[in-house]
Structure 1
Amino acid sequence: MTTTDAQILIVGAGPAGCHAATMAASVGMTSVLIDPATTPGGTLWRIGNLTNFPGYSDGPSYARVLGEALAGIDGYCTHVRATVVRIEAADDHVRAVLADGTSLVGELLIASTGTRPAKAGEVGWITCNHDFPTLTSSKPDGLGVRTVVLGGDRPLGTWLRTHSEAGQNLTVCHTAGEAYKVDEVRHDGRVTLLQVRRVTVTGDGPFEVLFEMADGTHKVAEVDSVLTNVGNVASSIPGLGVDPDGFCPPAAQHPRVLTAGDLTARVGQRVATAVGAGAGAPLALQARFRRQAV
């Protein structure tokens, strides 16, 4: 049997990972929480408006509470600042190989690395020469008067609610498949919606944007700022089972490995679902291998 650093290795300190660690501690299981960030919380630090999670109005306030909860279980959970580059699962242990070449070993592993924003160049309907800033990382005072947003993903509504004072008009181009997502902002006077087939962005600022509209016609606009809002891709790790969309469903993993949170699927990416999945993961692994009533 390989010597272990903890009973459970938890990769990713977002909502799912933090709740996995606290739940593991509640049933007497030790864990190592591995994440390169200094403070836990993951993408919570970038969520300015948290209307669908009772008790918290914004992500940072919830992230601070999670940090306090982890500090209260330091006898059971160790936070290691590191990046996991590979996961190796065996019959009796799981190894997390770190970027510096060292590794941590545990009996079980929970992967909760979540997602990252997709880049414009990774999306088939956008042609461009730049990696533009994401909408979620941008503030109104850093934008020009004429701003185009590439993509109509859900964070658009969150951004508008968070920056209710924003005076810019955002021209949001989206595909037919995103039409249902932009319904929540359709009546916001600061937004002009364009359903498109393709978009081509050229220039270095100001930018020229060529829109191929849904009806086949073309429009051209010169804009000061271009932002991306084209959804997320999974932050998967080599060694995890991956589906055709690049996500890592629990059923595709080694028996000693469980995935939780946004990493598992393109649908259902919400803080509340990540919390529940993360909290349930240690219990599921404990029941799977120890057959204890929990």
Structure 2
Amino acid sequence: MPDTPSRTGSRTTHDTDLIIVGGGPAGCAAARMAAGVGMRSVLIERDALCRNLYRIPALNNVLGGHTSGPGLADSITAELNSTEPCRLELGRHAVELRADDDQVAVTLDTGTRLTAPYAVVATGVGPLQPRDVPWITAPGSPALPPLWQADADDAEGRTLLVLGGDRPIGTFLRAHPTTDTRLLVAYPEADAYKTEEIRDDPRVTLLPVAHLTLHPAEQTTVTAAAVDRDGGQRTVTADAVHVSIGSAPTAPPGDLSRDGDGYCPPARQHPRVIVAGDLRSARFQRIMTALGSGSEAALHAYYAMRERPSR
């Protein structure tokens, strides 16, 4: 077991050995690995553990026999709830993260300030909205639900306008193979390569556009004016609209180095801050890579504490 500052009276006293911000697969894996090497941790999550996994109806690239997000999420949650060295702070979020030579301090929305020798930040990504991209105009539009939140009842016998061609569309179709629905997928040229896996599904109508203007819903009908790449115009009508534009990083405020897209490259962070999971970059956003990076992040903190104890 490491000779940690929190257990040695002659050294700086901290609230825990490791603060973990984010309770998705990466954050949960970090907490489990930390417990396995004798480190106490506090895991901060604004929602439920693995909340996004519960919205993935079908899995086909995860070890362990899990074929659905909810099944994997239940398994991870049960394990974390029985991991005694990990204290869960659910329903809370980090409003500030500060790192200095001796510690990391994380302030919660309640005003509570937690300190530890190291922190793992694994807050992941959230869905982009029409206001975040230049090819959609949606005046006064509230936040739209991502397609992966829709279920069979939302889609059965209905036409859904999907903004963006991101890959969760394929997941949705595989999860509901017999659902009688029609997806109108409006996407920019940059998303064309993402539509290869869905273009042969008879329930999909692809709408490559240069620009799309979403009009306020009238009763139960959604309409949009689409301008195609040749300048032609058309009116699109649907029963509901969902987004599948992509995701944006959701890093907490404070001492995190971000790139131009808002991601937090691990090599650019303060030595006491370790980034894990989808927050690292857009290139390897998969459940298996998140689990591995979370475990590696906890081990990074463990060995760093042994080699560089706080003064």
**Shared fold (TM-score, shorter chain, > 0.5):** yes
Give identity over the alignment, percent: 39
Aligned match of 1:207: 222
**In 2, distance between residues paired with 1:73 and 1:146?**
45
Aligned match of 2:258: 242
**In 2, distance between residues paired with 1:190 and 1:207?**
19
Alignment of 1:226 onto 2:241:
yes
Name the SS of the counterpart of 2:147 in structure 1.
Answer: coil
Alignment of 1:6 onto 2:19:
no
Match runs of 1:131-280 below 5 Å: 131-143=143-155, 145-205=158-218, 206-239=221-254, 240-280=256-296
Answer yes or no: is the 8 Å Cα contact 2:165–2:186 preserved in 1: yes
Question: For 2:300, which of 280, 284, 293 is the aligned residue?
Answer: 284
Evaluate the alpha carbon distance shift between residue 265 and residue 80 of structure 1 in structure 2; reply closer, same or farther with a 3 A threshold.
same
Name the SS of the counterpart of 1:215 in structure 2.
Answer: coil
Instruction: Report the TM-score when normalising by structure 2.
Output: 0.89
TM-aligned CA deviation for residue 196 of structure 1: 1.3
Name the SS of the counterpart of 1:6 in structure 2.
Answer: coil
**In 1, distance between residues paired with 2:128 and 2:13?**
38
Instruction: Report the TM-score when normalising by structure 1.
Output: 0.94
Name the SS of the counterpart of 1:199 in structure 2.
Answer: strand
**In 1, distance between residues paired with 2:192 and 2:150?**
23
Alignment of 1:42 onto 2:51:
yes
Q: Which amino acid aligns with 1:185?
A: I
TM-aligned CA deviation for residue 137 of structure 1: 1.1
Q: Which blocks of at least 5 consecutive residues in structure 2 are unaligned?
A: 1-10
Q: CA RMSD in A?
A: 1.6
TM-aligned CA deviation for residue 2 of structure 1: 4.8
TM-aligned CA deviation for residue 210 of structure 1: 1.2
CA deviations 1:223-249 (Å, max 9, x no partner) are: 221111111111111112111001111
Per mean C-alpha deviation after superposition, the further-off stretch among 186-195 and 141-150 is 141-150
Name the SS of the counterpart of 1:29 in structure 2.
Answer: coil
Q: Which amino acid aligns with 1:124?
A: P
- Alignment: residue pair count: 290
Answer yes or no: is the 8 Å Cα contact 2:37–2:302 preserved in 1: no
Q: Which blocks of at least 5 consecutive residues in structure 1 are unaligned?
A: none
**In 2, distance between residues paired with 1:97 and 1:13?**
17
